[in-house]
Structure 1
Amino acid sequence: MKVVVKEDELEILDDFLSESCEYLNNIEAEILALEERVTDEELVNSLFRKYHSIKGLSGFFEGMNEFTKLCQIIEDVLAKIRNRTINVSSDVIDFLLKGSDVIKKIVFGLSEVRKTGERNIEIEEEFNLELFEKEKESLIETEILKSKVEEKETKDEYFEKDFEAKEEGNEEFSDKIEKKDNIEKIIESTTSALSSEFNEVKISYEKIDEMLGLVGEIITTKSTFYYLSKELEKYDVELSKKFKELFRFIHRTSEILQDNIMKIRMIPFELVVKRFNRLVRETAKKTGKKVKFIFTCNDVVIDKGVAEKLSEPLMHIIRNSIDHGIESASERKKIGKPEHGKVELISYYRGQNIVIEIIDDGKGIDIERVTQKAIEKGILSEEKAKSLTADEAIKLIFEPGFSTKDIADEISGRGVGMDVVKNTVEALKGKVEVKTEKSKGSKFILEIPTTAAVSQGIVVVYNSQKFIIPFEYIEETVKISMKNVYGYVDKLIIDVRDEPIPLYPISYVLYQEDSCSEDVVKRFTKDDELSVVILNIRGVKIAICVEKLMQNEEFVLKPLPKFLENNKLLLGTTIDYEGNVILVLNPEYFRL
């Protein structure tokens, strides 16, 4: 199946892509909803209108005849549902989803090629349109026969009459308007609609990311401006005051700008979650299980960049919940559970973070089996396994290559899914926790920042190089006399308000040297005092001594260069007010 767009059609292509993408964002969710609400007239009409609109838009292109035909085939099936010739069945839903997938691939493919700036676009999709049309005919024929059998048992002519009435009503629509409304009212309503429509504009996320990059430059410039005003104070106090006033204005304006751009980047989390309806349906079908998916998003909004990165981990957890957790309908019946298993997703705010819980009512995680499999795969020794707590054993599912399945299939068993979950969540500066109860089910709890774009941290110095430690890990910073450092077993301890906290030199946690003895720590003293950052890493407090504590810094996190991208000790980089690159540390991977 081929789609061709000529150079002189590029202008209308942008309109086609904009409209079609908007429709396609909702089409899949509506098809899946139709499976639950088979007699929902409005849902059928809504789907019919969307496909009809996409078909109409594609008709403007000479090289999109096959695409138009594809839309027409799907529209034919929806028309049969509308006029009550056939009923909605699982086979009908499968057919609609199959067609929807192809349309999506083509539209999104066109969108990607359009971004490259090519003047003549050609996309080819491996799809047999003739076979699809034969499939449609066969489907309609089968469903008609089924409908006739069902009609003998019960008749419902109201739906058909109602649709017919609506069709007739559409033909007389313009006459009714003339009788009901005068010209002034029509003009007034049209103007109002246009005013409302132009109150919102569409903007690509590429443009938003570009704007966010400029905000990063403003943040760096703002810092430079502040330090220049401090330097100026040495020479001209009055001029320095004026500079500081100007700095406060720039600071306030840039914060408002940053806040507004961040809000533009935010999308309702529900939009992400809705797409998992299809995943649940297909996974349940392949595993032969009955599963209901329920979600409560509580008006949570999330940065689009974060949402995109979270999509794969959530997919792995939901798929594993069905494949490994939910029992078959017959098993559930035997143990007194409902035939349909339940996978529930709940999201809510906790402070500045978003918490996502994925709960299933399956059989729970078999901790003994997990431990045994980890031994078999060489992830841990038998001796180490004996000393593991239940919580430590559950965490083995996140180890690379771990799986409890003996044979891999297309759903799971390759030992990469949960590893991806852990790595992605930690890269987003979040954390993941698992709770499980035998025969009751499991709960995965993900906690992540709302946005990963703009952060704050404290600048520290080690080996004359600046590093940033993000604020979310920092409890406090203190100056400690060497008199308050004492040894305990094989560790150094500091006493902060009667609380003993283990002390490490930054050189040790960054794997720069293997010792954290008193002699090493003394090298970080200045006037017999240590500059210490107290961190909280996954609920454990530690103290890190550094050469120097500097200012708090607001920063936009930038990716690591290629040669450092696999270094887990680093989250990314940023630029300081002098234009120097600063490495942002990831305390999750400190050596302790």
Structure 2
Amino acid sequence: MDMSQYLQIFIEESNDNLQSLNEHLLNLEHTPDDAQILNEIFRVAHTLKGMAGTMGYVKMQKLTHNIENVLSDIRSGKIHVNSDMLDILFQCLDALENYVDEIVRTGQEGHEEYRDLMEALERIINQSASIKVEQSAVSTSQAETSVVTSIDLMNLPEAPLHIKDEALRQGLNVYQINIRLSANCVLKSARAFVIFKDLETIGEVIYSNPEVQDIEDEKFEESFSLVFITQEDKEIVKKKMLDVMEVEEVTIGVFEQSDSSEVVSISQKDEEGAESDKAVKTEQAAVQQQNGQAAKTQQVANKSVRVSIERLDNLMNLVSELIIVKTQLDGAKGHGQDEHATNYNDSIEYLERITDNLHQAVMKVRMVPVESVFNRFPRMIRDVSRKLGKDIELVMSGEETELDRTVIDEIGDPLIHLLRNAADHGLETTEERRKLGKDPKGTIRLQAYQDGNSVVIEVSDDGKGINIDKIRESSIKKGVITREEASALSEQEVLELLFKPGFSTSSEITDLSGRGVGLDVVKSKITGLGGHVEVKTEIGRGSKFIVRLPLTLAIIQALMVKIADEKYAIPLNNIQNIEDVRKEEIKFVQNQEVIVLREEVIPIVRLHKLLDLEQEERDVMMIVIVKKGEKQIGFMIDSLIGQQEIVIKPLGKYLSHINMIAGATILGNGEVALILDVNTLV
């Protein structure tokens, strides 16, 4: 059976389940006696195991099965939750995430078996209840050897009855096999298909109840029965069945020639099964599909967005209205202009309103709450706090704030850098905080909110703040700036040095800091998304990193301007105001053209020079004042065209190295206008 059609669903559901496990395990650490949380963890783990087994990912299924065993012993009270145990469980979740990542890339789970984690899980069980486990194993073994009961053999129709009698006369074995699948089995018909295929390798199925077609259509509960002819004994047949994942129970009855003798049945729960043999068999089957699945994976595992029914209904209604307007316009084409001019104009106005609403609806469909990114961070902060030996609390707010999916996909790594930076550099140790009279538990706040056409994400801490003098000295030592340049820098300009490549104030290299990699990556990533980042700090009170991002990277409001004979677009959310400046008002400060506007000195950039265009000298120059964080700059242009909503198109890989151009847009008359990248120019 080709399971590649279910690959995308498996990936999405697995990511959701792993995130859910992370959140619930964090909650369990705080409230280890909460039975409701524990039951939910067990349910999610069981679902994940079933999904992996259904797709044939044996290693992932086996690891999840061992996790489930530990959770089962916690539920029964044999094991008590502690931080060391949770560390191992979190490492197992990381391993499962690695499996999913490998599946996304190749369609296969890879060769890593994480034996160290499997052994650690087994040690948890053995150390906590070794005697009980041994006693349970003995009693189970005895029970299996002593079970001899009878089952009712089905009355066969005439055709399979003759086949059965002939097989018995030839000395073959005829079994009635009753199979019960797990109540949580996903794709029961797929499991039944595997069972039929496995049995056909050692014999022949002559009858089924319900019929084969009903089994294929999944018209049965958890159980079904087969009549099976084979030369093998019942132990081999039983093993074949128990090798199939999600088979809960197998009962085998033996047909005799007289059909009157007592029959033997064997029942066994699928707890451990024959995992190693099953792994070999399933991996062999997987290898045969590897080339086809791997080729399909990149097409199947595409990015997706989950959309509420209400938003889809809204889109459907708007499209329906578009069809109505199209019909009205088609009807107006064949008639006289005077007679239908009013109806025609009304239809055009109606069409404009619908397209505006349709645009807003599509934009909402692309929007995803930042919660999908924020949810990873509590687990990360928990690991970092244990590694650093600090008591850290992460407080999140504004998780419902929405961003374009393309921005959401890229913002995770920069936020990880900022949060680790706050935990390592920002917060003092527990002892230092006690000496300073602070709460021993440090707090990191992660907040998101919408501000106009932008979304602001703030990462702040209540730590020691950033030492400006230390940054100056470190910059001089690393040769980033000279001592003379450092003395002339303002406090905000010194803070900007934090984003220089290779810059670090850490005196030693650890897993978290000291390598000079981090904030420069943050800035380049956020700038690439059309946003910017700024820093605010206060010694002894803490620091705050403010990330400002555009709501979407697809459609923006822009100011269309003319420079020489070319048209350019400047994103509207960067623009402060537009000023007419006389030629004599432009001054030079340190070889930089500036103007003084409302007692502020603002540098001037002649875009003509940057874009290699001819400029006509005029007595009055038009200046567009743009702002990035606390910094302002003026762009000199020739004339304004007006405000316009534009669709951003990428330049392509051959022109992607042009830093001051963010993309291009196609105007209403078919002309192409370039979009200026304000973050690079400021």
TM norm structure 1 = 0.73
Cα deviation, 1:220-262, whole Å, max 9, x if unaligned, reads xxxxxxxxxxxxxxxx999998776554333322222221222
Query: Does 2:401 correspond to 1:300?
Result: yes
- My pick for the range that moved more, 425-434 or 317-326, is 425-434
Amino acid at match of 1:84: G
> Which one of the candidate residues 50, 71, 78 is aligned to 1:85?
78
* Structural RMSD (CA): 3.6
SS at structure 2 position matched to 1:27: helix
The match for 1:221 is none
- The answer to whether structure 1 residue 577 and structure 2 residue 577 are counterparts is no
> Do the aligned residues in 1 keep the contact of 2:369 with 2:399 (CA within 8 Å)?
no
- Equivalent residues in 2 for 1:172-191, closer than 5 Å: none
Counterparts of 1:22 and 1:384, CA distance in 2: 51
Residues 59-101 of structure 1: CA deviation (Å, up to 9, x unaligned): 334x433332211100011111111111111122112112212
1:48 aligned partner? 42
Aligned counterpart for 1:100 among listed residues 70, 87, 93:
93
Question: How big is the shift at 1:470?
Answer: 1.2
Counterpart in the other structure of 1:381? 482
Residues 14 and 48, structure 2, Cα contact 8 Å, conserved in 1:
yes
Work out the number of aligned pairs and report it.
486
**CA offset at residue 412 of structure 1?**
1.8
- Larger relative contact order (Cα-Cα within 8 Å, sequence gap ≥ 6): 1
Find the counterpart in structure 2 of residue 324 from structure 1.
425
Is 1:59 matched up with 2:53?
Answer: yes
Question: Does residue 287 of the first structure (1) align with residue 417 of the second (2)?
Answer: no
Contact 1:375 1:381 in 2 (8 A): yes
Supply the distance in 2 between the matched residues of 1:420 and 1:564 (Cα, whole angstroms): 22
Once residues 205 and 443 of structure 1 are traced to their aligned partners in structure 2, the CA distance between those partners, rounded to angstroms, is 32
Deviation of the 1:361 alpha carbon = 1.9
CA drift of 1:319 comes to 0.4
SS in 1 for 2:446: strand
Local SS of the residue matching 2:54: coil
1:590 maps to 2:575? no
> Rg larger in 1 or in 2?
2
> Aligned ranges for residues 45-194 of structure 1 at < 5 Å?
45-61=39-55, 63-113=56-106, 121-129=107-115, 131-143=116-128
Moved more, 7-16 or 72-81: 7-16
Give the one of 559, 562, 567 matched to 1:461.
Answer: 562
For residues 271 and 355 of structure 1, the distance between their equivalents in structure 2, rounded to whole angstroms, comes to 16
Q: CA deviation at 1:495?
A: 9.7
Q: CA deviation at 1:462?
A: 2.6
Q: 1:485 aligns with which of 560, 570, 583?
A: 583
One-letter amino acid of the structure 2 residue matched with residue 332 of structure 1: R
Question: What SS does structure 1 have at the residue aligned with 2:3?
Answer: helix
User: Which residue type is aligned with residue 419 of structure 1?
Assistant: D
Residue 363 (1) aligns with residue 459 (2): no
Give the CA deviation at 1:371.
0.6
Tell me by how many angstroms 1:378 deviates: 1.2
- The 1:240–1:94 alpha-carbon spacing in structure 2 relative to 1, beyond 3 Å, is farther
State the alpha-carbon separation in 2 of the partners of residues 347 and 100 from structure 1. Answer: 27
Give the SS at the match of 1:87: coil
Question: Are the aligned partners of 1:400 and 1:415 in contact in 2 as well (CA < 8 Å)?
Answer: yes
1:397: how far off? 0.6
Match of 2:516 in 1: 415
CA contact (8 A) 2:534 2:629 kept: no
Q: Aligned with 1:469: secondary structure? A: strand
Measured after TM superposition, the shift of residue 14 of structure 1 is: 4.7
Query: Are residues 503 and 382 of structure 1, via their aligned partners in 2, closer, same or farther at CA, if it must alter by over 3 Å?
Result: closer
For structure 1, the 5+ residue unaligned runs are 1-6, 114-120, 146-170, 172-202, 210-217, 219-235, 514-519
User: SS of the residue aligned with 1:397?
Assistant: helix
- In the TM superposition, structure 1's runs of 4+ consecutive aligned residues that sit over 6 Å from their partners are 236-243, 491-502
Structure 1 residue 315, shift from structure 2 partner: 0.7
Alpha-carbon distance between aligned partners in 2 of 1:338 and 1:494, rounded to the nearest angstrom: 48
1:117 aligns with: none
* Matching residue of 2:612: 512
Change (3 A) 1:447 1:47: same
Distance 1:380-1:343 versus aligned 2 partners, 3 A rule: same
Q: Percent identity?
A: 32
Instruction: Spell out, residue by residue over 1:93-129, the C-alpha distance to the aligned partner (whole angstroms, 9 max, x if none).
Output: 112112212222223432444xxxxxxx433142334
Question: For the structure 1 residues 21 and 321, does the alpha-carbon distance in structure 2 shift closer, same or farther, using more than 3 Å as the test?
Answer: closer
Aligned-pair CA distance for 1:36 = 1.6
Instruction: Identify the match of residue 552 of structure 2 among 451, 464, 474.
Output: 451
Per-residue deviation, 1:34? 1.5
Letter in 2 for 1:430: G
Note the alpha carbon deviations across 1:169-222, whole angstroms, 9 max, x for none: xx9xxxxxxxxxxxxxxxxxxxxxxxxxxxxxxx9745899xxxxxxxx9xxxx
Deviations 1:250-303 (A, max 9, x none): 332222222122212222222311211122122222223222212122632222
Once residues 452 and 399 of structure 2 are traced to their aligned partners in structure 1, the CA distance between those partners, rounded to angstroms, is: 15
State the 1:306 CA deviation.
1.5
2:352 maps to which residue? 251
Quick one: which amino acid aligns to residue 54 of structure 1?
A: L
Aligned to 1:349, the other structure's residue is in SS state strand
For 2:583, give the aligned amino acid.
V
Q: Contact between 2:594 and 2:601, CA under 8 Å: does it hold in 1?
A: yes
| Cα distance in structure 2, aligned partners of 1:295 and 1:104 | 24
Please report how far the alpha carbon of residue 22 of structure 1 lies from its aligned counterpart in structure 2 after TM superposition: 3.0
